[in-house]
Structure formats: structure tokens, C-alpha cells
Structure 1
């Protein structure tokens, strides 16, 4: 039994010496390699001392060899900590002489304590050799704290480094560096420290053998991940394995010799499957013979064929590999996957074609002038001035402006180009090719054209004075309507809202909950009416308002309106069927008004039916999404359907159903603003369905 223990320790000593030589052989000049070797030296001393300790003939000689072992087990926490500092890139500490001196003094102090008999106080003969008896003393506990502190620091450094690094290789290295010491130190501490302190002597002190697990982790990292092997070959392999381009080494016979990971990922093969494969089975748009003949091919676009037969567009380059005598021995091929670039180019072409079609077929004139000349014009602009497209390009912009306005407009254009804040949209008098003039509304925007400043112009012919007068009259009427709504309607609404709030605040103690609820409903109704007025005002100024497009949850809006309607008349038996997850893109407030009008209409016109049903949902019709609100109420005669959306037109008497007749007109204007259409179907006393669409 004793011989087994001696041989086990001696074998550990041989392994440690081999590891020291292996690490230094890999790269003797590197700091990390030297520190790793230094970290292994105490383990070698420890295992050597333990070999002779277990084979000692007497207690005295056993204690001597144990003291020699202490040169290893007292110093290894320091040397291994230095290695971990270097591995985790804290080398600056190792350049601090004070820090190094403190570490050496610590190790020396604990060696002195052992040799002075403060740690291990006796050697006990066992069947397997010798065991030790540790002193239960302050010095022993201080040594245990030193041992644990430095070992835990090593584990923490590795763990923290692995958490922060972005390199997958370094993460794997760090994981080995904190898992193996935990296992080794846990087992070693039990056999060499805990058991002796507890008086358990039946288990041999073989911590140095357990620590081989830790050392084995270092060896595995060295061989598996290239740790500390920072030779040109290792660096090259690392670069090739992680580069974003596909890389192949092809023989002169066209067979693949080697490939990197990106090639495997791109083509869907494993490295072993690609090895020996004929290059022509991957790329048939270029021959190896052509590359051999030319010596290199640079940045040619072609396609690779994947394992599944799919085509991958790549930017292909190849160059010959030559030996020292200049003879070609192979071909290095690189390829960049340009699938995304090709997709973007196609999307850009489609976008350009779409916008060119939009501009070329626009009803208004669109052009670009640069350096005082027209450099682009659509058909409408050329026709507006009486030119053909060919004549329009190169025409002087100044010659197209009426002499009465020419100087002023050209100076304003120069100031705009210089960055001054000048009007961009205004009325102007322009000249046609035949010398006749016309009034136009022109809009200007500074752009870059062929890399140089230019002005994009949009021109609308507004010569028709009758139309202009009609538009002016409509605008005046809209302004008058806006004024009326703003003042004549808002004032009473503010009064109602204000007095309701005053009642709630000043007479709160005199009102029961129902009274307070009524007042809150009054306030909510007036505020809702105020919002509706705001939306009507925006509609009345439709040419000047801005719509705010966003994704609108129509289901949520419909449910909220339905709940509000049921609160107003809880005694009614009305079944609401509202489709789930109905969303649309549009203006939230305006679409809320649409649903509010349609659902309130349905609620109103089903009021005389004891079992009313109101639905909101969608259907597919002619490849487009159609929204609908359906009820089983009073319905209407389809002969009068064309009057439904006319302002103030009603198909029922006011004594039957209340209302002003503006709601459906409002719905139609909002839907038209969204680029959609609205229509209705119904039958008297069998209900009505209102359909609407929105622009995709």
C-alpha cells in the first residue's frame, strides 16, 4: 500500500515536470508561458517532497521531507495567482515591485512557520505511508485564510474574465480555469487539511495528485484552444476560422484541400464533406484551368451552389499559391456572400423605378434646376411650358419666369441656395415657349443632384381664375364655419363642463354617488363633444391639416365605445360581436370618430328592437381588407342610399330617431382622407351594414 502512494506521488512529479517543459517549449519567450511554468514549479516541488515523505523510514525524516514539500504548498497560491493575473490581462500588477515583494514575503513567512513547527506538528505512520497532524492554532487558521483567499481570487478572476470577454475561445478557456480549481481544491483541502485537522488519518494526504485536475485543465486549454501558443501558425488558424469571408484551398486538380468555418456555414456542408470535393460542383461559372492560366481572379461576381441546390451570390477572388521555386502548388479562393447587397440593389432599383413612374406620371409639373438650367423635367412640366421633353432639358429657368417677377424670384433662389430662410411655396407668373404667361403655384426644395446642390420644383397651373375664386369662397366659408364652431359652440360646452365641475367640487357632500356619476358623464360627454368639434374643424381645413399615421387598434376602440353605450342604457338587451385583433394604420382620433359614428348609429337605429345585435369585423373582398359595422335595426331603403353620406340628409324623421345628419358625412370625409371608400347596404327593418376600406 505504501509503494502505491509513493509511486502515485512520483508519477505526479513526472507529469508536472513534463507540463513545465511542454509550456516552455510552446513559446519560451511569452510572459504567459513563463508564468504558467512558474505556477507549475511549486506543484512539482510539492509532489517530489511528498514522494520521499511517503517513503520515509522514520518520523524525523518524514517531517524533513514534509517541510521540503511546504516549499511547494506554501508558494503555489502566489505563483498561480500571478498566472491568473496575466491570463485575465491584469499584467500591470505584476510590474509593481511592492506587490511582488509582498507576495514573496507572504510565501516566505508561511514556509518559515511550517519549518518552525506551527502548522504540521506530527507525522503518524500509516499502512499507506505517513499522515500528518495539524496544529489547531492561530497560525494554522491564518495560513488557511491565505490559501483560500488567493485560490478564490484566482477563481473569481477567471469567472469575471469569462463573463466579460466577447471571444468564445476565451470564454471556454476561462470556464476551464475556474471549474478545475474548484474541483481540485475541494478534494485536496479535504485530504491534506480538513481530515488532518479533524484527526482523520485513514485517508492519505494526496492533494498534489488531486491538483493534477487543475493542471490537466491547463493542458487541455493549451492543446484544445491554442492558449499560450501565440505562434504565427496558431494566429493564422484563428484568423482563418473566424474570418467573415469564405476561404478555400484548392489543389491544381480542382479538389478542395481545406476550408474555413464560413465556407461550411455558407454551403451547408461539414469540413470533412467538403474535403476532396470537386470545386466545379460548387461553382460552375469559372474553371480552375482559367485561374491557373491567369494566376489570379479579382472581385468577380458569380454564384456558389449550396448542398440544397440553392444559389448564393458571392464576390469571388482567387490567387495562385507558389512554393519557394515559384512553382504553382495550389489556389487560395476567397468569397464574400453578397446576398444582402444584391437584395438591397434590387430593392433600390424597384424603388427608383417606382418613384420615377410616380414622378413621370404626376399630374403636376416636377423638375430640377441646377446652375440656372433645367436638368430634369417630367412630361407634365414640359407640357405645361409647351416644350417637348428633349427641349425642356437645358432650358434656362430665368427664361421661364415672367419679366415682372424674374429678378425678384432669381434673387430669392440665390438666397435659398445660400442657406437663407426664404419662402419655399408661393404663386408665380411663368412664361410658356410661345411667350404666353400663366399663373402657377410653385414649391421649392433644396436637394443634391449628381453630388451638387440643386433645387427640386413642383409646379401647379392655377390659371383658372373661376376655380381660384370658388376656392377662395369655399375657404372663406370654411373660415366662417370654423369661427362659428370655435366660439358659438365651444362657449356653451365650456359652461356645461365648468358648472358640472363646480357642482362636483362645491356640492360634493350634498350629492349621492349616482348624482356624482351623472355629473361625471355630463363632463365626459361635453369633453367628447369638444373633441368632435376639434376633429370637425380639422376636417373643415382639410387642405391644411396634417394626419398622424400610426398603428390603431380598432378592436380596442370598438370595445370601449360599446362599453360606453351600454352604460348609457343598461336596460337594453344588445349583443355586441366585435372581432379580435383588428388593427389599421391611420390617424387615431379620426378613426375613433369613424367607429364612434357608425357604432352610435347602430345603437340608435336598433333602439326599437328588443333583441338588438351589433357587429364590427372584417372581410376580404376583391383582394382587399374591408371593415364593416352591421346591425339588425331599422335599416333603410336602398333607393335612397346615395343620400346617406350627404351632410344633413336624413332617411328617418327626427321624431323617430334623433340626430343632425352630419355623422355619416364626417365618416365619408375621414375615410376619403385615408385613401379609402365607404358604402352601405340595408333593408327596411332588417338592419344595415356600413363598409369601409383604408389605403394599404
Structure 2
């Protein structure tokens, strides 16, 4: 046996990488068809086994002239002469290329599936149908139940869950195995080793084997404990909200009753006071001197002031209950309209007006005009000691909101009193200094809050004061805030 090929069929020649048997017979040797490592394996393992046992079978590799490797299933047979001594070796080979490719693809698919199962954020498990013992348990499942898979595999629910819970799980599993399709368990309580009681949303399905009989049970479980707690919290908040809404509705009804009372019950005695003061002045006006005259004047002035306060309070109450009529409009035009109204009332004043660029606004135009009028009216009033007075309207955008400012060079206020600035009937100056009811800025805050915006102010006494308010940008939806 010199290793030369003495016979090969056409299929064998092609497997070795040749076109015809003539290119192989008497020309190539066994060593030419193997890498040194594979040839060593053939000479030390395969051929000795064939000589000893008569044949050897197994997988081998052929080296082709172009350097490629061909996997084969090979049977080597020892051929003996008439004296019973080995004279040559015969070989039967089957090309394993397609089988190896299929095996590789199957292995890649298996690896992908195993990776998906292992890295899935939900617990995934597989049980044998016969005794419901776990045969697959992923990492998320280990984290959830608080046990390693080596403690889980080969065991069933009775090995680590309380008996009652294990019975419940087993009963559900048996239901799944008896049916086709997905079995959905929206809420499944489970006692874990480290996280205590959890709530799972589990889906299970039976898996059949090639013989169409049920072999396994697949389960996928999502821990919904936090979601359930959040839902319970939302439900609780909704109940609280319903109660709050109910209280607000009651309060609104009480406010309407109060408003009616203010409008009628309080104004009736006020009209009496005003009427009797006028009558007293008419009947005994010439006889009233000094302090007596002063007392009558104080009564009349106070009645007028009270009537103004009641009117302002009613307006504030009505504004608070009025719903917004939202649309988009020119902010610049609105500011100019409001300024024109104020200018008409103060033609005798020397005032420098500066109205900058103001973008489109999204809101209730009528209410926002009242905001501008209130702020501009304050600016004119508190700057009347200046000559000239300077009043400026400006704006800038931050993306989500538009910020508008009204600045004047008037008397200003002490920032230590800031907390009182936007309160109802809260005034930082006396009536002798500046007239007013203390409702204007409260109205401003109410309107802007209804639009989902903010109000604030900055002041340096005797230098300048700036009132700011913000509104959602015109491309943002304005929701009723009050």
C-alpha cells in the first residue's frame, strides 16, 4: 500500500476537486487529499481501526487542489488479498457540505433564540408536560423569583412555592395543556424569595412534538406590580379629584350665592347710607361746621369707596368663573389697543410709550386685553410723579412660552412686600398716595393662571418696576386652568 489512488469513480474525483478520474488514478496519493493534521489522523486512527476491525466510519475532511476543505462522511474498508492479508484500502464518501451548512444555520438559529430568551426583559420558562418540571428558565426569571436556574431546572412548583400557590399554578398549567392557543392570566400573584409578593401578567401556551402530542408548556410573565400600584394610586387620585371637583362645585355655588348676597343684600344698606348722607347734607348742610362736616364727608366718601370695592369684588368673582374663549391673535395689536385706551384717559400727561415686538398669542383675547389694561393703568398711575413718564411693553420667547413685560419708571415698591402684591384687596400704598381697590393685580394673576401661565414682578423704588406674565407659545394648546 503506497498511498496512490488506484481507482475512483467520477463523483469521487469531483469531491477531491478534479474533473475526471484520470486526473487522480495513479497520480495523487492519500496525503494529497488531506492537510498534514488530517492526514496524521487518517494514518494513526482511521486506517489502523479499519485494519483491525475491517472498516472504520466517521466524519473526515478532504483537502482540494484549490485549498478548500470538503467535509465528508467516510467509511474506510480494508481490502485483503487471497491470502487474507490487507492489500489496499477502499473508501466510500458522502459530501456533508449541505448538512454542515444546515447544521450551522440551525446552530445559529438556536443561538439567536437562546440569546433572545436569555436577554428578554420578561420571565420566560418552559416546563415538561408530563410532570411540569422546568427545563428552561431565563435570567429575568431568576431575578424575579430570586432563585438561580440550577435550583429551578428539573424541579416543579411544589419544590419552592407554598403548597396552595403551587396547586394554583399546577391547576392553571393543566388547563393550558388541555387546550390549544394562548392562555392569558391577567393577574397572577406569586411569592418570591427576595421581592416578596409580586403580581404577574402571564401568558402560557402548550407546545406539541412531531407526533402532535403535547410535550411542553411555554410561559412568559411580566412583573406588573409597579403598574398595579400606580393604577391603584391613579384610582385613589381620581377619587380624590372627584371629591375635590365636588367640593369646588359646592364652593362655586356658595360663591354664586355670596355674590348675589353682596350684589343685593350689602348694596341695599349701602344705598341707604349714601341716600341719608345726601339728605342730611341737603337738610342741614348749612348748619354743619368743622368736624361735623368732616364726619359727613368721610361717611359719603367711605360709602363710595365701599361701592367701588363691591363692584371690583363682583368683577373678580365673575372673572374667576368665566371660561376661556381661546384662539390665536396678534399680541402687538392687542398691546396697542390697550395702550390706546389708556392714552385716551391721560392726554394731559407727558408719557413716552415704547411698544416692542410681541408675537402671536394663544388665549382669550378679551381677558388678556384686561391684563394689559390693568398693568398699563398701574404703570401710568404709579409714574405720575415723573416727567416724562416712560412706559415700555416688550417680550421674548423661551420656546415653550412667551414672556411679556410692562416696565415703568415710577415710584416702585419695596420687594420685602412682594408676597402681598397679587392678593385680593392687598395694596402697598395708601389711598392718599395712590387711589385703587387692590383688585387689579389679583385679576391679572387670575387671568394668567387660567391660561396656564405665571406672573411676577421686579422693582427698584423710585427707579423702575417691571411686571411680567408668561403664556404658552402660540403653537401649544392652552388648557382651561380654572
Structure with greater helix percent: 1
TM-score category by the smaller chain? Answer: 0.3 to 0.5
- Greater gyration radius: 2
Q: TM-score, normalised by structure 1?
A: 0.27
TM-score (norm 2): 0.38
